[in-house]
Amino acid sequence: MEELLDQAKKIAEEAEVFMVSSEATPIQFEANRLKSIQNKRSTSIALRIIRQGKIGYATTTDLNNKQNLVSNAMETAEFGMPAKFKLPSTNSYPNIEIYDHATASLSLEKMIELGESIITQVRNHTSDIMCEADVTKSIISTRIINSNGGQASYQKSIFSLGIEGTLIHDTDMLFVGEDKSSCHPILEPNAITESVLQQLELAKNKASIPSKSLPVVFTPNGVASALLSPLMTAFNGKTVIEGASPIGNKLNQQVFDEKLWLWDDSTIAYRPRSQPCDDEGIPSQRTPLITQGNITSFLYDLQTAALANTQSTGNGGRSGGLPSPSPNAFIINPNSTTFNEMVKDIKEGLIIEQLMGANQGNILGGDFSGNVLLGYKIENGEIIGRIKDTMVSGNIYQVLKKITAIGNENKWVGDLLNAPHIYCPNLSVASK
Amino acid sequence: MSNIEFITNQLNEAFTKYNADYIEAHLEESESSHIIYRGKKLESIGRTTIIGGNVRALVKGGWGFVSFNEYDNLTDKVELAVKQARLVGKTESRLAELEPIIDTIPANIDKNPVTIPLSDKKQLLDEYNNIIWHTPKLQTSTIGYGDSHKKTIFLNSSGSHISQERIDITLRLAAVATEGNEIQQVGISLGSSNDFDSIRGLHPQVEQMSQHAVELLSSPQVKGGEYTVVLDPVLAGVFVHEAFGHLSESDFIYENDRMREIMVLGKKFGSNDLNIIDGAAVPQLRGSYKYDDEGVPATKTHLIREGKLVGRLHSRETAAIMNEKPTGNARAINYRYPPIVRMTNTYIEPKTTTFEEMISDINEGIYAKNWYGGMTSMEMFTFSAGEAYMIRNGKLAEALRPVVLTGNVFTTLNNIDAIGNDLEMNQGGGCGKGAQSPLPVSNGSPHIRIRQCLIGGK
Chain segment A274-289, per-residue pLDDT in tens: 999 999 999 999 999 9
Q: How many CB atoms lie within 10 A of CB A128?
A: 10
Distance from CA of B283 to the nearest CA of A (A): 30
For residue range A62-101, list pLDDT tens digits in order: 988 878 899 999 999 999 999 999 999 999 999 999 999 9
Write the residue in B39, B88, B384 that is nearest to A360 by C-beta: B384
For residue range B266-282, list pLDDT tens digits in order: 999 999 999 999 999 99
Q: Which of B186, B79, B92 is nearest to B141 (CA)?
A: B186
Q: Which of B118, B60, B283, B200 is nearest to A76 (CA)?
A: B118
Please report, as a single letter, which amino acid is at residue B396.
L
CA count, 13 A, side-chain hemisphere, A344: 5
What is residue A308's DSSP assignment? T
Instruction: Check pLDDT > 70 for residue B234.
Output: yes
Instruction: Check pLDDT > 60 for residue B1.
Output: no
Q: Is residue A319 less than 8 Å (CB to CB) from chain B? A: no
For residue range B281-322, list pLDDT tens digits in order: 998 899 999 999 999 999 999 999 999 999 999 999 999 999
pLDDT of amino acid B376: 85
Task: Locate the domains of chain A by residue range.
Answer: 2-200, 205-432
Q: Which residue of B has its CA nearest to A170?
A: B262
Kindly provide the b/e burial profile for residues B338-369, where b requires at least 16 CB atoms within 10 angstroms of the residue's own CB: bbbbbbbbbbbbbbebebeebbeebeebbbbb
Q: Do A41 and B67 touch (CB under 8 A)?
A: yes
Q: Are B206 and B131 in contact (CB under 8 A)?
A: yes
pLDDT of amino acid A357: 84
Which of 93-152 (A) contact B at CB < 8 A? Answer: 108, 112, 128, 130
Q: Whole-angstrom Cα distance, residue A299 to residue A181? A: 24
Q: Whole-angstrom Cα distance, residue B219 to residue B213? A: 10
Q: Do B44 and A81 touch (CB under 8 A)?
A: yes
Q: Are A330 and A417 in contact (CB under 8 A)?
A: yes
Instruction: Check pLDDT > 90 for residue B31.
Output: yes
3-state secondary structure B237-272: HHHHHHHHHHHHEHHHCCCCHHHHHHCCCCCECCCC
What is residue A359's DSSP assignment? G
Q: Which residue of B has its CA nearest to A81?
A: B43
| Cross-strand pairs, B418 | B449
Three-class SS state of B405 = strand
Q: Is the CATH number 3.30.2290.10 carried by domain A2-200?
A: yes
Q: How many CB atoms lie within 10 A of CB A194?
A: 12
Q: Whole-angstrom Cα distance, residue B111 to residue B167? A: 9
- Beta strand residue intervals within A170-226, DSSP E: 172-182, 213-218
Q: Is residue A251 less than 8 Å (CB to CB) from chain B? A: no
Contact list in B for residue A141 (CB cut-off 8 A) is none
Question: What are the backbone angles phi and psi of residue A52, rounded to the nearest 5°?
Answer: 50, 40
Angle between helices A190-202 and A108-125 (to 10 degrees): 20
Q: Whole-angstrom Cα distance, residue B11 to residue B365? A: 60
Q: Which residue of A has its CA nearest to B82?
A: A37
Backbone dihedral region for residue A59 (phi beyond 0: left; psi -120 to 50: alpha; all else: beta): beta
Q: CATH number of the domain at B4-217, out of 3.30.365.10, 3.40.50.980, 3.30.2290.10, 3.40.50.10800? A: 3.30.2290.10
For residue range A25-46, list pLDDT tens digits in order: 999 999 999 999 999 999 999 9
Q: Nearest 10 degrees: CA dihedral of B238, B242, B244, B247?
A: 150
pLDDT of amino acid B2: 61
Distance from CA of B193 to the nearest CA of A (A): 22
Q: Whole-angstrom Cα distance, residue B368 to residue B360? A: 16
Distance of CA A339 to the CA centre of its chain: 23
CA count, 13 A, side-chain hemisphere, A27: 24
Q: Whole-angstrom Cα distance, residue A238 to residue A220? A: 27
Average pLDDT, chain B: 93
Q: Are A47 and A59 in contact (CB under 8 A)?
A: yes
pLDDT of amino acid A287: 98
Three-class SS state of A72 = helix
Q: Do B456 and A391 touch (CB under 8 A)?
A: yes
ipTM of model: 0.92
Which of A54, A367, A391, A398 to mutate to test binding with chain B, by most B CBs within 10 Å of its CB?
A: A391
pLDDT of amino acid A423: 98
For residue range A205-252, list pLDDT tens digits in order: 999 999 999 999 999 999 999 999 999 999 999 999 999 999 999 999
